[in-house]
Structure 1
């Protein structure tokens, strides 16, 4: 079903993650309410203080938004956006975004401002654009999903952020520490286009975000999403120095030139553990959140499934010069 733009008086049902962003939660809530109410619109604002309750709260708010014909909005980082977007897809709601995370890949890809006040103004003048969602074993992802070293990297990064604060520098240094440490390589079999391939890799990374692919230099996979596909990256097992070289290539936007990387695009892929491995579940990172999923893993691209509100970049908010 192709979703139309919401009606002009549609209420906004906003889920705000108090753990995201660097600004005081009360100030963020006041800013959101001020801009929306000044425009003569109504909003319901639900603040999530306990991250473990985010899926439960997002589902409840989405139910109310669907019942009232409202817009379901996520305010937070990419993990928060993913959790709320999942409910928007399930309930058939139009979805809005107020990016408040460290990297904000999803919001930046769709031209949504990182400044909160500007993002709310953009939300008020936005139109529906249908965008792709990735799926792994029924769990949606907007940016990426991965197994192997990457989930471990995210767990270490979260630990370091609690100690040293949330910043892109802390995230980069934490990633280097994890990548250069000891880790096991995955041994997996993938079913792709009717053929089975066996891979040995430190991590299997599946991307659903053009900007992220562009930044690490994975051409031509940066256009896979526009073609209704997902992008897979699987580094070959290498020593620490060559792994460091891969990380540096990615930071410089030249990963696609590396010989030690397998990369391909797909619409559907199944990942299995080798026979006799005994593994039944595996850690999977889904838009920055680590969870345990049962094997085999089924990855799929759901083209145009999410009805996202996106403002015309040429328009300006009221009062702008």
Structure 2
């Protein structure tokens, strides 16, 4: 889609998550401030020290960005980016990203450098592009949303990361441990385009990220994202190998192609309704959105948000 030139004097309102990244927060803050001051760019930077402060601080910064015609910027991993992007969508302000997480799917997909100083320099020379936003009930997701085994995997991965450190190797070992442990299968009723499907699966995964779909290796799902849809994939009740491949290659950043596609159920859609049949309508269900686990009301509605996010990112040719 065509780019819109970003105002060269727009103020950056930066939300920096102290818990993201591999370097000290003061080092990261100093680097961001040095680059922006060197470019004579106006900015306001707020550090989030406690995770439960993130939504409130992001909301406050979004309000200021919208009032000033500025750019709301998230400095953190995909979970931080999700929380800040939600406020950018709500308040209608432009959005920028300084990726600082373990996998950085969102930033990598849009050509944003993972090195902090390079990312800040890229922010200064970027233009605005519309980016597709996914919704599950009232929650935004930019990368993926899922139910079943994957939210459990994320919770256990966070515990292991606190003990053994943040790395893709630790994440992969933690995932293996979770997958090989006993777990229940979901009984789902899916409705898409007026058709109802019954499915038993350990996990149901909805993607909104081209890079992940490339790694899963199912070409129609990748094409669906390019066509303004979301893509869903779930291992069938038989075939642990398909589930293992999906979680390790699609959700955990390991490279490879999926050769067991017959063991997977796949769907592409603008809107899909999912009822977990083993739960009552009033029960809450764990849902992971961009790596953060929350509880939403069953049934779930996954859909493409009509109002797209305006993302400040480097031009594809540059």
TM bucket (normalised to shorter chain) is over 0.9
For these two proteins, the number of residue pairs brought into alignment is 314
- Cα drift, residue 198 of structure 1: 1.3
Distance 1:256 1:277 in 2: 36
- Cα drift, residue 254 of structure 1: 2.5
Moved over 6 A (4+): none
The answer to whether residue 185 in structure 2 is matched with residue 185 in structure 1 is yes
Distance 1:257 1:267 in 2: 26
Distance 1:306 1:243 in 2: 32
1:131–1:244 Cα change, 3 Å = closer
Name which of 285, 304, 313 aligns with 1:310.
313
- Look up the match of 1:91: 91
- Look up the match of 1:254: 257
- Cα drift, residue 273 of structure 1: 2.7
Distance 1:205 1:254 in 2: 17
SS in 1 for 2:304: strand
- Look up the match of 2:302: 299
- The worse-fitting range, judged by mean Cα deviation, of 160-169 and 229-238 is 229-238
- Look up the match of 2:169: 169
- Look up the match of 2:72: 72
1:154–1:301 Cα change, 3 Å = same
Q: For 1:60-209, list aligned pairs within 5 A.
A: 60-209=60-209
Deviation string for 1:223-271 (max 9, x for gaps)? 2221010010110123656754666776452325432111121110011
Distance 1:70 1:193 in 2: 39
Give yes or no for contact 1:3–1:94 (8 Å, CA) kept in 2.
no
Structure 1: which 5+ residue stretches go unaligned?
316-321
Structure 2: which 5+ residue stretches go unaligned?
none
Distance 1:39 1:179 in 2: 48
Distance 2:259 2:83 in 1: 30
Give yes or no for contact 1:6–1:69 (8 Å, CA) kept in 2.
no
1:259–1:13 Cα change, 3 Å = same
Distance 2:64 2:218 in 1: 41
Give yes or no for contact 1:59–1:87 (8 Å, CA) kept in 2.
yes
1:90–1:279 Cα change, 3 Å = closer
SS in 1 for 2:41: coil
Distance 1:276 1:27 in 2: 47
1:308–1:296 Cα change, 3 Å = same
TM-score (norm: length of structure 1): 0.92
- Look up the match of 1:318: none
1:55–1:256 Cα change, 3 Å = farther
Give yes or no for contact 1:192–1:268 (8 Å, CA) kept in 2.
yes
Root-mean-square deviation (Å): 2.0
1:213–1:239 Cα change, 3 Å = closer
Give yes or no for contact 1:192–1:269 (8 Å, CA) kept in 2.
yes
Distance 1:21 1:222 in 2: 29
SS in 2 for 1:163: helix
Give yes or no for contact 2:215–2:249 (8 Å, CA) kept in 1.
no
Give yes or no for contact 1:180–1:240 (8 Å, CA) kept in 2.
no
Q: For 1:37-52, list aligned pairs within 5 A.
A: 37-52=37-52
- Look up the match of 1:236: 236
- Look up the match of 1:319: none
